[in-house]
Chains A and B, each alone.
Chain A
Amino acid sequence: MSFLNYLRVWLACARYSTVRTMMFRFDFIMWSLVELFWMTVNILLVSVIYRHTREIAGWTQYQMLLLVGTSMIMQRLMMGLFWSNLFELGRNIRTGQFDFFLAQPGNPLFMVSTRKLDLDGLLNVLVAVSVVAYSAHQLGLHPGFGDIVTYILLILCGLIIEYGTLLLIVSLTFWIVGSQGIEGSYFTLFEFSRLPKEAFRGASNVIFVWLLPVVLVSNVPSKSIMHGVDARYVLWLLGVTLLWLLIGTTVFRRGLRRYASASS
């Protein structure tokens, strides 16, 4: 299939998801509320801690809020675009329903990852963006066009890293069938993306900042919009993006070769 065909498939899926959402309006409202509430919890945590302290690892309240907002943009994009699809991938591998995707005339990874859009997640991206915009306003930042484009590109890198990580986690199902609930580790890991890099010391610095990409995904874009681009970090993030996408897709492909359908 050509690129144009894939685009048409994706648009068809988007249309289908929209129609579905319209049919289950109550669900849409409830899920939007759920996500909104989780974001509020994170914002409240920041405001509660800053009632008692002026800085966390050298970050002021609005710098921290900007970081949390940035992390939320990525997570909401993940929820809106990929979470349900990859979550269902795990379930389908266990049940054998995955056969259905293999039978489709297209790249299995593309077919699996783009079947559904969650409009509630995408709607809440706007909320996360306004948290970032509000923090930037409070910090007196006036980013130029170039800064905003860089920030968006860095967020996209973060999205790819998160996608690669979740794909890696879910693909483990090919080997360990009884791994229900393992998808939740995505949330546990990326919780660290709401913390400033400077808060990590010693072993935690090695593990969460350098070995795992979970801290830099949010710290690099946030710092670039606050203090300007630091080429070293940006290059590192680009490298890490390619690496995690490669790891995720490689493990998925290896798993695909192992996949022998379920008893059916």
Chain B
Amino acid sequence: MLAALDKYRHAFLVGLQSGLVYRWNFAVRSVFSFIHLAYAFILWGAAFAGQSAIGGFDLRQTLTYFITMLVLQFFISAFNEDYQISEDIRNGLINQFLLKPINYFLYRISVFAAARLVSGLLALIPFVLLLPFLWKYLSFPVDGWRYLLAVPALAMAALIQFTIAYCFGMLSFWFLEIQSFIILSFAIETMLGGQVFPLDLMPPLLYQISKYLPYYYQMYFPTAIITGRLDQATALSGLLLQAVWLVALLGLAELLWRRGLRRHTAVGG
């Protein structure tokens, strides 16, 4: 059992190294994200002029939502995992996983965990540098339960993000070019994950519908727990739905893997 885990520990360590190789890509990405944060500050700052609350939250709480989401994103989002998996399939790199006693999904998720650890810590650098400026906009609720529930919510959010990316990568078994699929899903995730605006500001019916979609649990749900946009009962029932989505997506990933391998022909050596 321990020996089995050891394989993935090595995968994790390799992931850390390759994460560090791409440190400049992450640095560039975090600079873009903070410029995007300036956009959110200007837009919402202007929207709040002349009123103290939007959807029951003041300007500081709203900006805290965007700042929190931005930082969390570097810890839990799948960035280019779908491309990497797609490349593995197209280049025939997965062939070696078929021959060795290592599970491709677990291998990939170990690398993903390592990469997010690196990107998350790197994103903290600009955040800490900007903290003297951001400080006055931060306003977190004080309820202890929020931080307790945020832990499983964040863990499952990361797994959901990864599994969705994994499923998109699996499409390479059927399609030559999956870039358009990925960008389309990225657009859907960006909006329904709450990165464009807090989902609770949508009309109530749309907000209710979004709650039953997996995207809600990718970013919005953990962020909303931490920044006080959900009450305890909603957070608890949300965790249940999040778990259901996670299991469903894991099932889909396994199904696509099995079906995909049936179509797959290993060429060359």
Contacts and interface: CB of A to CB of B under 8 A. Distances in A.
Interface of A: 27, 30-31, 33-34, 37-38, 41, 44-45, 48-49, 51-53, 55-57, 178, 180-182, 184-185, 188-189, 191-192, 195-196, 198-200, 204, 208
A198 B47 CA distance: 12
Nearest to A204: B42
Interface in B176-206: 177, 180-181, 183-184, 187-188, 190-191, 196-197, 201-203
Given A31-B180, A184-B32, 11 more contacts: A30-B181, A34-B187, A44-B191, A45-B196, A53-B48, A53-B50, A53-B51, A53-B54, A178-B24, A195-B39, A195-B46
Contact of B201 (A52, A56, A178, A195): A52
A34 B182 CA distance: 10
Contacts of B196: 41, 44-45
- Report which residue of B45, B181, B187 has the largest number of chain A beta carbons within 10 angstroms of its beta carbon: B187
A31 B178 CA distance: 11
28 contacts: A30-B180, A30-B181, A34-B184, A41-B190, A41-B191, A45-B197, A48-B201, A49-B43, A49-B47, A51-B203, A52-B47, A52-B55, A52-B201, A53-B48, A53-B54, A55-B49, A56-B46, A56-B47, A56-B49, A57-B46, A181-B29, A182-B28, A184-B32, A188-B36, A192-B42, A195-B43, A200-B42, A208-B42
Interface of A, secondary structure class, is helix
Given A27-B180, A45-B196, A49-B197, A188 B187 contact: no
A211 to B, nearest CB: 14
Given A49-B197, A180-B25, A37 B184 contact: yes
A195 B39 CA distance: 8
B154 to A, nearest CB: 25
Contacts of B248: none
A57 B48 CA distance: 9
B35 interface: yes
Contact of A34 (B25, B55, B183, B202): B183
B202 A41 contact: no
Contact of B50 (A37, A55, A196): A55
B148 interface: no
Nearest to A179: B28
Contact of A185 (B25, B32, B46): B32
A251 to B, nearest CB: 19
7 closest A-B pairs by CB: A30-B180, A199-B46, A57-B46, A52-B54, A37-B187, A188-B32, A56-B46
B121 interface: no
B128 interface: no
B98 interface: no
Contacts of A30: 180-181, 184
Contacts of A34: 180, 183-184, 187
B213 interface: no
B190 A195 contact: no
B187 A41 contact: yes
A27 B35 contact: no
B38 interface: yes
Nearest to B183: A34
A27 B179 CA distance: 10
